[in-house]
Amino acid sequence: MEVASLTVDRIREGLAARAFSAVELATEALRFAEAENAKTNAYLHFCPERALEAARRVDEKLARGQDGGALAGVPVAVKDVICTRGVRTTCGSRLLASYVPPYDATAVMRLEQAGAVVLGKANCDEFAMGSSNENSAFGPVRNPVAPERVPGGSSGGPAAAVAQGTAVLALGSDTGGSIRQPASFCGVVGVTPTYGRVSRYGLVAFASSLDHIGPFARSVRDTARLLGVIAGRDEMDSTSAFAPVPGYAAALDGRARGVKVGLPREYFDGLASETGDLIARGVDALRRLGCGVREISLPHTPYAVGCYYIICTAEASSNLARYDGVRYTMRAPGGETLIDMYRSTRGEGFGAECKRRIMLGTYVLSSGYYDAYYLKAQKVRTLIARDFAEAFRQVDAIVTPVSPFPAFRLGEKLDNPLEMYLSDIYTITGSLAGIPCMSVPCGRTVAGLPVGMQILTNHFDETGMFRLADAFERAGGADG
Ligand code: GLN
């Protein structure tokens, strides 16, 4: 069996036809993933015992004639900011290098209840801060499509694992673009659901009001299936929504006729590049599918990056205060006093980007600056959300690029944090508004680099988003 070409449906058929057992599939998937990992560093560590145990449970159910679950036997990679009981969860940080959580994130629990097989933990930027996966304390990830380039970030590992074919599905996290941007760079599908759609219980917090867990897969249908399993109210996360979970995958019929699509002027001004051309061709394909396309305006877009980097750093400075050498983490040796111990532990444990954000966040929250920066940013966030609310009175979906450029070279933007921050320009607005957004492969540049198209819909309209993305994918993307 060829793991790299499997889909959720093919696995279901294979198991039903007894072409392979779940244990055989898990064994082969682990072997393949471990062998391929030398090329990309997509996984930080594997959990073979847990994987085989999950697979065994599926085989037992099938042998008894029971349903194996919606994701029976499907190999999954889980970003290492999502807690797994008994399996190290490092957040890509030296501080948590040996942290073993005593519980599973709700999303992981639901995955396994549905029969999925977690192979291991995927690499990421430290505490999910970054756009290139180069902030991982355990080395960067290489883009499987172009090994001298970054896979995007912060969920570079999950995106690379799916692109490489070592996992059929992956769980990532997105705060300002960390699922969509790596999906775009690696040529896979990545989905950020509505804020609150998926429980954050067990997702290590970066910026709590912006953090989302979401799926990666090689097809829209498979991301829809994965979201269907992990979505829904969870008592353990009071911000998780009560809204019922519709059958996302069942709604996919390849039709997009009559869908009203808006193109925000602010996202296309000055986008004269190969990316711009590909997105324009993608929009033409949507027109051929029968979508009505019109220009719209999201006037507060220019303030989004500034607004995001104030809010996310403020929340991060507070969330990261718990890593103090007493709980969870490594403790640096030496130091006479408690303060010395904090200082040396945090000084040695955190990488440069985390320190930068803790300092920025502490500054914008400090007395005298709170009103000028943090409170102001919260007001701007409301204006950005209102822009979307206004737009969705006119259109059903908004289409934009995911990133202004395709995957860049390793090291290319490392010395320029501001330029790195600006690369999130198109993904941050959707995160601030808390609406569903996704990246679907649009096409490739002349050099063969993948470019993703972003689709955004109104709160809880994941179905509309998946339907449009699926129709686009079936039509062949920009080439359709
Ligand atoms: N690249 C953005 C940042 O560095 C987004 C990160 C994320 O979504 N986790 O904050």
Q: How far apart are CA 189 and CA 438, in angstroms?
A: 7
Distance (Å) from CA 306 to ligand 1 centroid = 13
Q: Give the pLDDT confidence score for residue 421 in this predicted structure.
A: 85
Is the confidence at residue 334, as pLDDT, over 80? no
Q: For 225-239, what is the mean pLDDT?
A: 98
Tell me which residue of 132, 14, 214, 186 sits closest to 423, measured CA to CA.
Answer: 132
Distance (Å) from CA 377 to ligand 1 centroid = 17
Q: Across-strand partners of 77?
A: 120, 170
Q: Give the pLDDT confidence score for residue 335 in this predicted structure.
A: 78
Distance (Å) from CA 183 to ligand 1 centroid = 13
Q: Which of 134, 181, 195, 312 to mutate to test the pocket of ligand 1 (most atoms within 8 A of CB)?
A: 312
Phi-psi region of 65 (alpha: psi -120 to 50; beta: other; left: phi over 0): left
| Number of the ligand 1 atom closest to the C-alpha atom of 130 | 4
Is the confidence at residue 402, as pLDDT, over 80? yes
- Residue with the smallest CA separation from ligand 1 atom 5 is 176
Task: Give me the phi and psi of 361, to 5 degrees please.
Answer: -65, -40
- Residue range 406-456, pLDDT digits in tens: 999 999 998 888 888 888 899 999 999 999 999 999 999 999 999 999 999
Distance (Å) from CA 289 to ligand 1 centroid = 33
- Residue range 348-362, pLDDT digits in tens: 999 999 999 999 999
Q: Give the pLDDT confidence score for residue 422 in this predicted structure.
A: 82
Q: For 56-75, what is the mean pLDDT?
A: 97
- The catalytic residues are 79, 154, 178
Q: Give the pLDDT confidence score for residue 479 in this predicted structure.
A: 86
Distance (Å) from CA 133 to ligand 1 centroid = 10
Is the confidence at residue 39, as pLDDT, over 80? yes
Distance (Å) from CA 413 to ligand 1 centroid = 15
* Residue found by looking up tokens 């692109």 in the block: 163
Q: How far apart are CA 459 and CA 449, in angstroms?
A: 31
Q: How far is CA 185 from CA 76, 337, 402, 440, 464, in A?
A: 20, 46, 9, 11, 24
Q: For 235-253, what is the mean pLDDT?
A: 97
Q: Give the pLDDT confidence score for residue 392 in this predicted structure.
A: 98
Tell me which residue of 135, 155, 181 sits closest to 452, measured CA to CA.
Answer: 181
- Residue range 127-165, pLDDT digits in tens: 999 999 999 999 999 999 999 999 999 999 999 999 999
- Residue with the smallest CA separation from ligand 1 atom 10 is 129
Q: Which residues line ligand 1 (CB under 6 A)?
A: 128-131, 154, 174-178, 206, 312, 424
Binned at pLDDT 50, 70 and 90, residue 189 comes out as very high
Give the dihedral of Cα atoms 362, 365, 369, 371; nearest 10 deg: 160
**Is the distance from CB of 43 to CB of 122 less than 8 angstroms?**
yes
Binned at pLDDT 50, 70 and 90, residue 250 comes out as very high
Termini Cα distance of the chain? 30
Is the confidence at residue 270, as pLDDT, over 80? no
Is the confidence at residue 329, as pLDDT, over 90? no
DSSP state letter for 325: S
Q: Which of 91, 171, 178, 454 to mutate to test the pocket of ligand 1 (most atoms within 8 A of CB)?
A: 178
Average pLDDT of the chain is 96
Burial 50-59 (b: 16+ CB within 10 A, else e): bbbebbebbb
Is the confidence at residue 480, as pLDDT, over 80? no
Q: Give the pLDDT confidence score for residue 14 in this predicted structure.
A: 97
Q: Which of 124, 424, 426 to mutate to test the pocket of ligand 1 (most atoms within 8 A of CB)?
A: 424
Domains in the chain, ordered, with CATH? 3-251 (3.90.1300.10)
Q: Give the pLDDT confidence score for residue 76 in this predicted structure.
A: 98
Amino acid making up residue 290: G
